[in-house]
């Protein structure tokens, strides 16, 4: 249930809830988009006669909230409807909750059990905790390359190195992430839209952060065409240019390091805006700066079975690595064959 | 049975044979190293009382030989021992055989059935046919790279990019090939032995062809240390240098094209010497020239889960490809996870 919500809950964590009575599942819920019900309420809402809930057990992948955000605290509703038991996979490490709900439930006479449901779930909740406590969002790097690791020809042609099914998986990946960071190079060369073009999932297109140090990008680019999502432009604090204000575009100043926008500040700023999952689809320079700072948590590497040779553009630009010992190490966690392409999923070691 | 013989039969094809009587397998055989029994005789030799063979059926993956090479024609023995039926997967397209044995067997009153056993076997026999008819050997390229396709640092350090299990699979690959072609660059930078170091398989170390255009390599290199295998040095017909004769090293002149040894002549010459399976383990330049001429039949690509960035050495050097349409295309035929490495096997499209 929690996994169903991934990518659509910003700035809330994706949570799942199940209501059980007499050994039967009465209803299932998951976090709805911000401002609409949390998982517990989503599950409760599906039960017509609320009186039936009395005595039921509630399973939650995360401690229910005790604070009022855009919606009322879930814990009040749980007490009001007289659940007899709440089983929670993890305490919410968000300082605004942090066992408050557990205490509230217990003092209302409701039995509370805290018991880890699965390691996969722990990983999922950790993404939220890391974001809220350390401003460390979860960053996925997506690469689509030839077998020899090239993402485009020396003429910047990349259509299409991987097959159409791989590209659909790529679009699914966009729907699972709340935002994307992209460099000006990619925007200028490819003029991409960077939305999710899978039928029924277009409303899950990620918000966009563009690194446009010198504020050079023109407004007629495709990326600025979709007015239904937020677009942020990061530019250098050294730029004196006047910034054109625009309704769906926000400009944010970022400090410079070595003639680049400081990537650590970029990531922190994105996190402070509430984004927990960031997708990066290159280019090679942005991927390299994130790798250099060990900010990549996961890599989705799509490889076609084609070879380009060394005059193509590398997936990852210079990392200043001169020794095998210093290579950036990942764990290979999953592999899939997609027709004649191959997808390898790596996670931070 | 035929697959057991792969890599050890040069210049004979790897063949399998099974002797069946009354529905039971009496014995199984496969091609032994040159000068020792072919598959059929290997199977026959395992039956103590040769009189028991009378009336038995013989299954062969390739038409038995009718000509005298280093061993006597198998077909005579089959007739002498009074097999009642011979089932053959494919006629031997070698002009020296080419249905001769089938005719001989039939005129001796033995029933002969020709029926393809499997497509895998057809592929195996084709390697022999292509070699003997068109001097087109089967070339396997082995690459050991980082996830981003780098085979060494800019300091030419490559120990070890892939893990020890991957490297063992690499050694197994050497045992399955009859020879290797290697460039001077690799020999100079790595000073490799290029033998098979798996216990019990060291006698299957491939013979070596070195492309040493200007005859620059010193005799104290490790590659020249093993006196039990044949080493050939290809050098340019434009070189005037005196060639030092050596007992286990043969020098062969090859014509030059654009200041390189002509790779097509190299491959043809290796084939004319009877080699059917060639392994190439790089370097990047040799791999590129073979790819350019579409001479690579199969790629074993071992990828570690490490990233080097673009100052590493590419697996494949320049192919002069500027368009996605012109990429060298392969079929992904198999993938394996080797601990934290990944092996992808590609075949010519």
Concerning whether B40 is annotated as a catalytic residue, the answer is: yes
Please give the pLDDT value at position B246. Answer: 74
**Residue B339 confidence class, pLDDT cut points 50, 70, 90:** very high
What's the average model confidence in pLDDT over A318-336? 97
Question: Using one digit for the tens of pLDDT, what is the confidence trace for B12-36?
Answer: 999 999 999 999 999 999 999 988 8
What's the average model confidence in pLDDT over A193-217? 93
What is chain B's mean pLDDT, rounded?
94
Fold of A136-348: Dihydrofolate Reductase, subunit A (3.40.430)
Please give the pLDDT value at position B120. Answer: 94
Residues of A in contact with B331 (CB under 8 A): 305, 340
What's the average model confidence in pLDDT over B233-252? 83
Please give the pLDDT value at position A226. Answer: 78
Candidate from A139-153, A300-314, B197-211 with smallest mean pLDDT: B197-211
Please give the pLDDT value at position B279. Answer: 98
- A149–B150: do the CB atoms touch at under 8 Å? yes
Question: Using one digit for the tens of pLDDT, what is the confidence trace for A45-97?
Answer: 999 999 999 999 999 999 999 988 888 899 999 999 999 999 999 999 999 89
Nearest C-alpha of chain B: how many angstroms from A83? Answer: 47
H/E/C letters for each residue in chain B? CHHHHCCCCCCCCCCEEEEEECCEEEEEEECCCCCCCCHHHHHHHCCCCHHHHCCCEEEECCCCCCCCCCCCCHHHHHHHCCCCEEEECCCCCCCCCCCHHHHHHHHCCCEEEECCCCHHHHHHHHHHHHHHHHCCCEEEEEEEECCCCEEECCCCCCCCCCCHHHHHHHHHHHHCCCEEEEEHHHHHHHCCCCCCCCCCCHHHCCEEEEECCCCCCCCCCHHHCCCCCCEEEEEECCCCCCCCCECCEEEEEECEECCEECHHHHHHHHHHCCCCEEEECCCHHHHHHHHHCCCCCEEEEEECCEECCCCCEECCCCCCCCCHHHCEEEEEEEEEEECCEEEEEEEEC
Peptide bond into B251 cis (omega under 30): no
ipTM score of complex: 0.93
Nearest C-alpha of chain B: how many angstroms from A71? Answer: 44
Residue given tokens 């073009």 in the structure block: A197
- A317–B301: do the CB atoms touch at under 8 Å? no
Residues of B in contact with A321 (CB under 8 A): 153, 308-309, 311-312
In chain B, domain spans:
2-128, 136-348
B positions 150-169 inside 8 Å of A (CB): 150, 153-155, 157-161
Peptide bond into A283 cis (omega under 30): yes
Does the domain at B2-128 match CATH 3.40.640.10? Answer given as: no
The C-alpha atoms of residue A13 and residue B75 are separated, in whole angstroms, by 76
What is chain A's mean pLDDT, rounded?
94
What's the average model confidence in pLDDT over A315-335? 97
The C-alpha atoms of residue B64 and residue B91 are separated, in whole angstroms, by 9
Question: Using one digit for the tens of pLDDT, what is the confidence trace for B265-324?
Answer: 999 999 999 999 999 998 899 999 999 999 999 999 999 999 999 999 999 999 999 999
Residues of B in contact with A289 (CB under 8 A): none
- A153–B321: do the CB atoms touch at under 8 Å? yes
**Number of Cβ pairs < 8 A linking chain A and chain B:** 168
Please give the pLDDT value at position B97. Answer: 92
Which of A142, A149, A292, A333 should be substituted to probe chain B, the one whose Cβ sees the most B Cβ atoms within 10 Å?
A149
Q: Does this chain's domain B2-128 share its CATH topology with B136-348?
A: no
Nearest C-alpha of chain A: how many angstroms from B217? Answer: 27
A positions 215-274 inside 8 Å of B (CB): none
Asked if A332 is an interface residue toward chain B (Cβ–Cβ < 8 A), one would say yes
* pLDDT greater than 90 at residue B71: no
Please give the pLDDT value at position A244. Answer: 66
- B301–A149: do the CB atoms touch at under 8 Å? no
CB count in 10 Å sphere of residue A203: 12
Give percent of chain B above pLDDT 70.
99
Specify the pTM: 0.94
Please give the pLDDT value at position B244. Answer: 66
* pLDDT greater than 80 at residue A238: yes
CA distances to A98, A345, B116, B333 from B336, rounded to whole Å, are: 44, 14, 29, 11
């Amino acid at each position: 249930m929690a996994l169903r919500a991934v990518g659509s809950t910003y700035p809330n964590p994706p949570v799942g809830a199940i209501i059980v009575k007499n050994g039967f599942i009465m209803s299932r819920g998951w976090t709805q988009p911000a401002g609409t019900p949390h998982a517990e309420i989503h599950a409760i809402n599906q039960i017509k006669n609320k009186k039936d809930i009395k005595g039921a057990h509630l399973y939650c992948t995360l401690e229910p909230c005790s604070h009022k955000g855009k919606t009322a605290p879930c814990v009040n509703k749980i007490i009001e409807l007289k659940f007899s038991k709440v089983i929670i996979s993890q305490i919410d490490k968000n300082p605004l909750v942090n066992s408050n709900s557990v205490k509230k439930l217990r003092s209302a006479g409701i039995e509370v059990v805290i018991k880890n449901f699965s390691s996969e779930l722990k990983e999922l909740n950790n993404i939220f905790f890391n974001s809220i406590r350390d401003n460390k969002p979860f960053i996925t790097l997506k690469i689509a390359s030839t077998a020899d690791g090239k993402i485009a020809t020396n003429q910047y042609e990349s259509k299409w190195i991987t097959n159409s099914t791989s590209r659909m998986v790529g679009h699914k990946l966009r729907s699972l992430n709340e935002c994307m960071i992209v460099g000006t190079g990619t925007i200028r060369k490819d003029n991409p839209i960077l939305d999710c073009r899978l039928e029924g999932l277009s409303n899950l297109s990620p918000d966009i952060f563009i690194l446009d140090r010198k504020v050079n990008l023109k407004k007629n680019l495709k990326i600025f065409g979709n007015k239904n999502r937020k677009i942020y432009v990061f530019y250098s604090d050294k730029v004196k240019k006047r910034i054109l204000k625009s309704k769906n575009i926000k400009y944010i100043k970022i400090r410079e390091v070595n003639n680049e926008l400081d990537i650590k500040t970029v990531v922190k700023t994105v996190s402070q805006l509430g984004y927990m999952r960031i997708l990066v689809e290159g280019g090679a320079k942005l991927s390299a700066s994130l790798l250099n700072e060990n900010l990549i948590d996961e890599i989705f590497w799509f490889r076609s079975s084609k070879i380009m040779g060394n005059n193509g553009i590398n997936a990852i630009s210079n990392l200043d690595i001169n020794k095998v010992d210093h290579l950036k190490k990942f764990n290979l966690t999953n592999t899939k064959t997609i027709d004649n392409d191959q997808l390898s999923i790596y996670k931070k070691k």
